[in-house]
């Protein structure tokens, strides 16, 4: 568990690199003044970005595996993680922030460009106009999720 990082993960570094490449600087990392300490935070634009790992935050799109041993412990841990994520997002929305959630699977090859284009456009729009306080999931339901779901169904059928 000690080797699992909470900051500067590969997906988080990819997001930050894409934001810099788009010319969006001036963000804060893990800003303590924002509820939940978002991974990337634009205080002036009131945009908070959370980069969620699929395993730890239980991605609803790619159905990550569950550990076989100590299943009660892991089930409780994952439930606490999801409750904390919901609480943090709710606190930010109440404070008038736009919350962007980026799942790790949305940053895989072939999907990262579209996901980051959506995030960049959202952050730019927030700089030009006041966006409504809400939670936005970047890399919304697209064809890649349907393909992944079909693939999972085929695998289940083969297994029996």
Task: Tell me, yes or no, if the pTM score tops 0.75.
Answer: yes
Q: Is residue 5 part of a domain?
A: no
Q: Is residue 2 part of a domain?
A: no
Q: Is residue 89 part of a domain?
A: yes
R_g of the chain computed on alpha carbons: 17
Predicted local confidence at residue 151, as pLDDT: 65
Q: How far is CA 24 from the centre of its chain?
A: 18
Q: Is residue 16 part of a domain?
A: yes
Q: What is the pLDDT of residues 48-64, one digit of tens each?
A: 999 998 888 888 888 88
Per the structure, how many domains does the chain have? 1
Q: Is residue 142 part of a domain?
A: yes
Q: Quick one: pLDDT band at residue 143, thresholds 50, 70, 90?
A: very low
Q: What is the pLDDT of residues 15-36, one digit of tens each?
A: 999 999 999 988 999 999 999 9
**DSSP state at residue 51:** E
What's 39's domain CATH number? Answer: 3.40.960.10
Alpha helices in the chain (DSSP H): 10-21, 54-57, 71-94, 112-128, 143-159
pLDDT at residue 153 is higher than 80:
no
Q: Is residue 127 part of a domain?
A: yes
Please check whether residue 39 is in contact with residue 53, taking contact to mean a CB–CB distance below 8 angstroms. no
| Domain boundaries, position 85 | 10-155
């Amino acid at each position: 568990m000690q080797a699992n990082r909470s900051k500067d993960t590969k997906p988080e570094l990819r997001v930050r690199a894409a934001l810099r490449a788009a010319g969006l600087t001036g963000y804060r990392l893990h800003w303590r003044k924002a509820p939940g300490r978002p991974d990337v935070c634009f205080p002036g634009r009131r945009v908070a970005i959370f980069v969620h790992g699929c395993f730890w935050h239980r991605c609803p799109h790619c159905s990550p595996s569950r550990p076989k041993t100590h299943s009660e412990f892991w089930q409780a841990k994952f439930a606490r993680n999801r409750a904390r994520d919901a609480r943090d997002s709710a606190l930010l929305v109440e404070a008038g922030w736009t919350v962007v959630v980026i799942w790790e699977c949305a940053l895989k090859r072939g999907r990262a460009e579209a996901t980051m284009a959506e995030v960049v456009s959202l952050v730019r729009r927030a700089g030009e106009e006041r966006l409504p306080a809400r939670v936005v999931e970047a890399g919304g339901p697209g064809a890649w999720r349907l393909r992944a779901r079909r693939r999972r169904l085929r695998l289940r059928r083969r297994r029996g």
